[in-house]
Every structure is written in structure tokens, then in C-alpha cells.
Amino acid sequence: MIDLYTAETPNGWKISITLEELGLAYRVHALALSKNEQKAEWYLKINPNGRIPAIVDRDAGDFPVFESGAIMIYLAEKAGRLLPQDTQGRSRVIQWLMFQMGGIGPMMGQANVFFRYAPEKIPYAIERYQREVRRLLEVLNGRLDGNEYLAGDYSIADIANWCWVSGYAWAGVSIDGLDHLRRWLDRIAARPAVQRGRKVPPPTDLGTGDAKTVEGARKFLA
């Protein structure tokens, strides 16, 4: 059994979708980010960074894992799926996973902050992050030209990138002209495990990309 500490955000969905795809048993603990539950002392013992997601593997001596990319690798290795075992196949998946962790995630996160959440609108910051997101989406589109998935077979690299990229409109970025990317978004959205994992946890704290989301995000960003 895996304990999953999460919230209704892209980094959280990365793990619930991975768990659903792998068919691993898990228990959901939804943290209210708007109440800063992720900064509670008990939780910092699991994730010293005070953010979601994190897991505790109860079948492995209560082993805690934080950082969504590290959690995905841990789960894929535990189940023996969604991450190839040969050195080059594994490296390809990890490259596109790191592209999400170091590029798509932080840049879309900042685009959301300046475009949606910042009480003060700073055009330079909004344009800087939206332009960089669009550039990264063009990189993905190029990779998907002639490739169904980012790194060979469907993998944790696709899940990680999909969870963020599917929120392009919330970041105020267009995917016009990125037809390979659009098809890949639709292909992954059609997977039953993705649909199940995307609903975890129910959007009770931060809402569904609406005024409640803005209000909740402003509380933990303050």
C-alpha cells in the first residue's frame, strides 16, 4: 500500500495517474494548500520541501519519497513498467521527464503565477514566461512529429508532461499550429487510467481553474 499526499494540481496528478496506470494500491491524503497544510510539521518529516506530492511506501519499511519526478521513477521501477530497463531506453525517458521537471513545470508554473495569480499585472513577467512556455511546447511538438509518444512507448515522461501541458489555456498560452502536440494531448486524455487519476483528489480545496483556484493559490503564494 502506498500513501499519497497530494492536491488537485499538475504535480499531484502526475502521481495519481502513474499509480492508476500501474495498478498499484494507494490511499489518498488530500492536503489543503490554501490552508498551508503542506507546511505542517508532521508533513515536513515526509517532504522537507513542504510541497505536494509525496508518497510513503508502507510495503517498503515506510519509505518516503518526495519530488514528483523521483516518485514517478520509484513507482515505475517498483512495478517494472512505464520506464524501460535498457540504458538508452531508460535515459530517453528520463531526458523527457527532466525536460518537464526543469522546463515545462517551472515555466508554466511562473506563467500561471504572473498571468493568473499575481494581484499586480507585470507585462514583462507575463510575456517572458508565456513566450518561454510556447517555445518549450514547440520543442515537444517537434519531438512528436513522427513519434506517437515522447520516448518510445508510452511512459512516465508522457504522463509528467501531459499533466502540465494540458493546462496550457490556464497559463494563457496558445497551441495553435502545434498539431502533433494537440493529437498527443488527445491521445493521452483518452486513456481510462489518466481520466481516473486526473480526478484525484476531488477539487474541493483549489477548485477547477476558476476564481477559487486563484484565491487558493494566492494564499500559499503569499
Binding residues for ligand GSH, per CB under 6 A?
A: 9-11, 33, 38, 50-53, 67-68, 220
Nearer to ligand GSH, 5 or 178 (CB): 5
The nearest distance, CB 170 to ligand GSH, in angstroms, is 12
Dihedral angle over CA of 22, 49, 218, 196, nearest 10: 10
Q: How far is the CB of 50 from ligand GSH (least distance, A)?
A: 6
Distance of closest approach, residue 86 Cβ to ligand GSH, in angstroms = 26
Q: How far is the CB of 96 from ligand GSH (least distance, A)?
A: 15
Q: Which residue has the cell 493546462?
A: 167
CA–CA gap between residue 189 and residue 163 (Å, rounded): 10
Element (H, E) at 120: none
Residue 13 or 184: the one with the smaller Cβ distance to ligand GSH is 13
Q: Which is nearer to ligand GSH, 68 or 130 (CB)?
A: 68
C-alpha to C-alpha distance for 131 and 109, rounded to whole angstroms: 13
For ligand GSH, the closer of residues 53 and 197 by Cβ is: 53
A 10 A CB-CB count for 41 gives 6
Q: Confirm if 184 and 155 have CB atoms less than 8 A apart.
A: no
* Secondary structure in 3-state letters for 181-214: HHHHHHHHHCCHHHHHHCCCCCCCCCCCCCHHHH
Nearer to ligand GSH, 3 or 180 (CB): 3
- With CB atoms as reference, the residue minimizing the distance to ligand GSH is 51
**Long-range contact set of residues 46-53: C-beta below 8 Å, sequence gap at least 24:** 46/5, 47/5, 51/11, 52/5, 52/6, 52/7, 52/9, 52/11, 52/12, 53/4, 53/5, 53/6, 53/7, 53/11, 53/12, 53/14, 53/15
What is the grid cell recorded at 66?
A: 518526495
CB of 10 vs ligand GSH, minimal distance in Å: 6
Minimum distance of ligand GSH from residue 182's CB (angstroms): 24
Q: Tell me whether residue 156 or residue 178 sits nearer to ligand GSH (CB atom).
A: 156
